[in-house]
Amino acid sequence: MYMRLIRECIVVGGKASGGHVLGKTRDRNYAPRLQIIRDVTPEGLEIVYIHDLDTDYAEGMNSEGIGVVNAALLVGEDEMAVKGKIASDDGPRMFHALQQTTLRDAIQSLVSWKDGIKGHTFVGSPKSLYSIELTSKNNPVVKRLNTKTGFDVRTNHGETHSDAGYTPDRRPDDYLSSKIRKATAEMELAGTDDHNEMMPAIAKQNFDKGSNYNMMRTTDNMRSTNQVMMHLDNLEFTCYLFPEECKFKGVVDKTPDDYEPKIKIRVHEYDEEETK
């Protein structure tokens, strides 16, 4: 049976609890099977990432404090290429970037390795945060984020490229949803300084249950499945699970038995009261 894979998300970058943080709410039209993987490269670089077992998608951070999150920004051939619940090269692209030990090399990997990862990408380290906007039709635009002005938020419409993602002429309803979800997330995050409050702040339904305008999606064809939050300075990786919306398969540790982990992993499952 044909099923078009729909990917919508909210990604967040900023400063909280004294350091740089990245976050993402992941929306899907299927219930993904997810694992958290801890691995170490032959060079001793630790990598922790969320892994979608259905599509091979991944995103996470490494022990140098470099982290990456991404939101889809599909146009033209990008949209035509995503059909069915199938693997893509985005997972390997992410993993390749996370194997880099400098932010400069991670950014270079994200914009060029296997033609780069499309969409809105936030990448950062304890030193700085950057946004990358890239589609198959547009050159990558890389900008440093100013964490002194609050959190930056991206959804599924273009910021620099007006023809990217959802547009008012091509997908007006989805464009409006993307704009409202971005504005609502910015409002909810305003003044937040505790990184543990960041993702719960955008795990809410500010509109009627089932509305496509909600940050936490519960529509017939789109569900919020999980969130990730990374505190890059503290080397913390937190996964938030929405009840019944994903199939969590646990944490898989691929490091040697005598390895001392550098990145702290936490898993939190929301209860119904937290997401009202």
- pLDDT tens by residue, the chain, 276 residues: 334 455 678 999 999 999 999 999 998 888 899 999 999 999 999 999 999 998 888 999 999 999 999 998 874 444 444 444 566 788 999 999 999 999 999 999 999 999 999 999 999 999 999 999 999 888 999 999 999 999 999 999 999 998 888 999 988 998 999 999 999 999 999 989 999 999 999 998 899 988 989 999 888 888 899 999 999 999 999 999 998 899 999 999 999 999 999 999 999 999 877 777
Report pTM.
Answer: 0.93
Q: What pLDDT score was predicted for residue 78? A: 41
Q: Provide the Cα torsion 14, 116, 41, 269; round to 10°.
A: 50
The CATH number of residue 25's host domain is 3.60.60.10
Position 74 in a domain? yes
Domain count, the chain: 1
Q: Give the integer Cα–Cα distance in Å for 12 and 80.
A: 27
Quick one: tokens of 24?
Answer: 């993402």
Position 93 in a domain? yes
Position 2 in a domain? no
Q: Give the integer Cα–Cα distance in Å for 259 and 37.
A: 15
Domain holding 69, by residue range, is 7-275
Q: Of the candidates 50, 42, 46, which has an alpha carbon nearest to the alpha carbon of residue 70?
A: 50
Position 127 in a domain? yes
Position 1 in a domain? no
